[in-house]
Amino acid sequence: MKAISIILLSGIIAFSANCGEKKPGEKITSIGSGEGEVSIVAWPGYIERGDTDKAFDWVTSFEKETGCKVTVKTAATSDEMVALMNEGGFDLVTASGDASLRLIRGGKVQEINTSLIPSWDKVDDRLKEAPWYVVDGKKYGVPYQWGANVLMYNTKVFKSAPKSWEVVFKEMNLPDGKTNKNRVQAFDGPIYIADAAMFLMHNDKSLGITNPYELDEKQFKAAADLLRKQRKIVPKYWHDAFVQIDDFKNEGFVASSAWPFQVNLLRAGKAPIASTVPVEGATGWADTTMLHVNSEHPNCAYKWIEHSIQPKLQGDLAAWFGSVPANLEACKGNALLTDEGCKTNGLDNFEKIWFWRTPESKCDGGKKTCVPYHRWVTEMISIISGR
């Protein structure tokens, strides 16, 4: 039995093997028989087949029903996902917003024919026209899950939830009377500059920041300067969820940005951990399953995309990862998620989240010139290295 390659993160190329020849990137008009396999690039925890916990398995049933064997390549960062998609050899990717536009601009993913996705109408209306994957009216993917980059904290140190992100940005004594220096972490991706910009947008109105992903030179410098000051109290940056979990268990860290995934696993292990969305709001991720422009298994890929937004998978994944489903029908009647799970995972925080987007030089509808993503990359490398 062949296998379908799916990459969860940014996009895939698809063409119909049973519908005649099509040019790379040309939208598929019909779905034929599965090719026997599909390969996916995904975030850790996004494609589960019961290996970690038998209760969480949304791959086995798909393989039995379609004959499409799923292989998964996990990626720890959006940059890694973009690199993998650029190399090729994958069908799908669940891309976050800081990767999806790069994949679209680079011609690495193809437009999705939503008329071939029977459950498209069940996708949350708030996501159907999202600017991180819809360009010039064309949809380059199908929403998968979303959530906030929460402030994770140790409840033995913080008896009540921190009200502001300042506990990880500014040197101070924490409620236990000890300094936060060397006890807090920060995300090591270039997109983390947006977290600093969001903090300043709320706390320094004079900068005139209205969107943390659309920064002019002065605003960008202010965000970078804040992160350079933060560097003095942050001994270690994180991007691997499981390494961060170990750091909070064994290395004395007490506060950091994190995904709900880490919070859930730490709490499951009885660690004194909780999370919050502070007064400034939060950055976040709304991940989109995208099809590579040169996908070798487009039929299986389309079958997976439809499978990916079914209520059962959506609810099980939300329970596992701590995310919010793209199909809100999953919020009721799922034994693993429970009827309160969506609210617990932040369903009501949608308007408080600045979802990841790839910073581009043309911004604010073309009215403004902003610092593009490649500058964010070099700046973050400089900040982390202490330059």
Q: Dump pLDDT digits (tens) for 341-363.
A: 999 899 998 999 999 999 999 99
Report residue 24's pLDDT band, with 50, 70 and 90 as the boundaries: low
pLDDT at 26: 76
pLDDT at 16: 37
Confidence band, pLDDT 50/70/90 cuts, at residue 267: very high
Predicted confidence (pLDDT) at residue 285 exceeds the cutoff of 60: yes
**Cβ within 8 Å of residue 43, ≥6 positions away:** 8, 9, 74, 75, 94, 96, 287
Q: Do the Cβ atoms of 8 and 41 come closer than 8 Å? A: yes
Is the predicted pLDDT of residue 387 greater than 80, yes or no?
A: no
pLDDT score recorded for residue 18: 42
User: CA 202, 204, 209 angle in degrees (round to 5)?
Assistant: 70
Confidence at residue 160, expressed as pLDDT on a 0 to 100 scale: 97
Q: What is the pLDDT of residue 220?
A: 98
CB 195 within 8 Å of CB 165: yes
* pLDDT tens figures, 62-88: 999 999 999 999 998 899 999 999 999
Q: What is the band of 101 on the pLDDT scale with cuts at 50, 70, 90?
A: very high
- pLDDT the model gives residue 179: 98
Going by C-alpha positions, the residue among 5, 7, 1, 4 that lies closest to residue 288 is: 7
pLDDT-above-70 percentage for the chain: 94
Fold match flag (3-146+285-347 vs 148-283+355-385)? yes
pLDDT at 22: 58
pLDDT confidence tier of residue 122, bands split at 50, 70 and 90: very high
Give pLDDT, residue 261: 87
Q: Which two tokens stand for residue 62?
A: 């798909």
Q: Among 232, 282, 280, 272, which Cα is nearest to 249's? A: 272
The DSSP symbol for 106 reads: T
**Is 9's pLDDT higher than 80?**
no
Tell me the average pLDDT of the chain: 92
Locate the domains of the chain by residue range: 3-146+285-347, 148-283+355-385
Question: Class assignment of domain 148-283+355-385?
Answer: alpha beta
Q: How many CB atoms lie within 10 A of CB 279?
A: 13
Query: Could you tell me how far CA 267 lies from the centroid of its own chain?
Result: 21
Per the listing, tokens 């109290």 go with 233
Residue 211 has pLDDT above 50, yes or no: yes
Q: Which CATH architecture has domain 3-146+285-347?
A: 3-Layer(aba) Sandwich (3.40)
Cβ-contact 247, 273 below 8 angstroms = no
Q: State whether residue 188 is helix, strand or coil.
A: coil
Task: Find where tokens 């499981």 sit.
Answer: 242
pLDDT at 17 over 90: no
Residue 38 phi, psi dihedral angles, 5° rounding: -155, 135
User: Which pLDDT belongs to residue 4?
Assistant: 44
Q: What is the pTM of this model?
A: 0.85
Nearest-5° Cα angle at 43, 38 to 46: 70
pLDDT of 192 higher than 70: yes
Cite the DSSP H helix spans in 160-192: 166-169
Burial tier of 351 (Cβ tally within 10 Å: 0-12, 13-18, 19+): exposed
Instruction: Summarize the confidence of residues 167-184 as an average pLDDT.
Output: 98
Identify whether the C-beta of residue 87 lies closer than 8 Å to the C-beta of residue 3.
no
The dihedral over CA atoms of 194, 225, 241, 279, expressed in degrees to the nearest 10, equals -60
